[in-house]
Amino acid sequence: MPKKKKKVEETLRTGVIYCGDNIEVMERLPSESIDLIYVDPPFFSNRQHEVIWGNGAELRSFADRWMGGIKHYVNWMRERLMEMHRLLKPAGSIYVHLDWRAVHYIKCEMDRIFGIKNFRNEIIWHYSGWNKILKDHFENRNDSILFYGKGDEQVFFGYTIPWDSEDEYVKIRKQKVRTDVDGRKYVLSDAGGGKRIKRYLADAMREGRPVDNVWDIDKINNSSKEFLGYPTQKPEALLERIIKASSNEGDIVADFFCGCGTTLAVAERLSRRWLGCDVSPTACKLVQRRVSKLNKGSRKFEIIGMPVTIDELKKMEPFEFQNHIIVDLLHGTC
């Protein structure tokens, strides 16, 4: 029987991108060391995501095929989610981004791993698009993000967006607007125990509108300012909500399926510490460039585990190998 490799608990490093299978990376990291995890794993879509981008020479792609069906996918995710649970601090939170194909299966797994009492929300990310009448179903226009706390001490601030106008606020509250002796507008708000307090419209406008679990945010398309050409790139606005709602400045944010690094770029911009992992060397290099640009190259972000030996290079997918060489030639790192 092959000997089980001894796990090494490294001290946690931030500002680094691990290139490799996340299960192997996570197993090396210390328990209860991360404040917030967001992951956006392959979705069980039975597709190969491919896109030609940049000058047309680079081909990005990642496999999202599960020959063994949903059971295989769930088993694969289970061992990773268990590691994420171990890595989270007691006050930490996790957000797992899925869609209608796998969310129900993964919800059952997460209830088992994180505890049903720690389930907080299924966030519905709704995006607009051109809808057609289909033969036997409605258009799917949402992804689902499962949000769990690790326990009762969980850090959470919520998130607000601006009100369009005082009229919008009043319409939703369905209350009569009154005016005090100084001419300031208010509504009467229920303060519990039969008590009513004045809620000034100016205060409500300043504090903003708390968001619920349905988030309307545009998808990234090739005319978006943020567009990098990475398939399944997520909008920064989505990550900004998650990171602001569930972490403080200086906290440690991790994304173990980081793709082109949306989580890491937003964490960097919001003064959080971060670490990322992706199995694709192309993605890791893209992340490194993306976060370096944010601080104008003043800080070096290291990629750990980039393939270098002949054996490692031979193991790469053909398109990964091609990208690896082309990106290096284009950016002068070869």
Ligand X SMILES: C[S@@+](CC[C@H](N)C(=O)[O-])C[C@H]1O[C@@H](n2cnc3c(N)ncnc32)[C@H](O)[C@@H]1O
Please tell me whether residue 22 binds ligand X under the rule CB under 6 A: yes
Least separation in angstroms between residue 84's CB and ligand X is 12
With binding defined as CB under 6 A, does residue 279 bind ligand X?
yes
| x-marked contacts with ligand X along 178-217 as a string, rule CB under 6 A | ----------------------------------------
- Partners of 304 in beta bridges: 18
Out of 35, 109, 278, 320, the only residue in the binding site for ligand X (CB under 6 A) is 278
Residues 213-252 contacting ligand X, CB under 6 A: 230, 232-234
Structure tokens at 134: 């289909």
Angle at 136 between CA 132 and CA 141, to 5 degrees: 50
Strands 34-39 and 252-255, sheet pairing: parallel
Using alpha carbons, select from 278, 283, 241 the residue that is nearest to residue 36. Answer: 241
Identify which of residues 41 and 149 has a Cβ nearer to ligand X in the complex: 41
Query: Cβ closer to ligand X: 63 or 161?
Result: 63
Q: Which two tokens stand for residue 49?
A: 């995501």
Span near ligand X by CB under 6 A; candidates 111-119, 160-168, 244-252, 277-285 = 277-285
For residue 76, the tally of other CB atoms under 10 A from its CB is: 16
260 makes contact with ligand X (CB under 6 A): yes
SS3 assignment for 163-182: CCCHHHHHHHHCCCCEECCC
Closest contact distance (angstroms) between CB of 129 and ligand X is 18
Told to check if 262 binds ligand X by CB under 6 A, we report yes
Which of 44, 62, 125, 169 lies at the binding interface for ligand X (CB under 6 A)? 62
Considering only 125-133, 208-216, 255-263, 313-321, which stretch makes contact with ligand X by CB under 6 A? Answer: 255-263
Minimal distance, residue 39 CB to ligand X, in Å:
8
Exposed/middle/buried for residue 298 (C-beta within 10 Å: 0-12, 13-18, 19+): exposed
CA distance 34 to 267: 13
Q: Looking at beta carbons, which residue is closest to ligand X? A: 259
Cα–Cα distances in angstroms (integers) from residue 254 to residues 17, 27, 249, 302, in the given order: 10, 14, 14, 15
Q: Please give the residue ranges that form the binding site for ligand X (CB under 6 A).
A: 21-22, 40-42, 62, 230, 232-234, 257, 259-260, 262, 277-280, 283
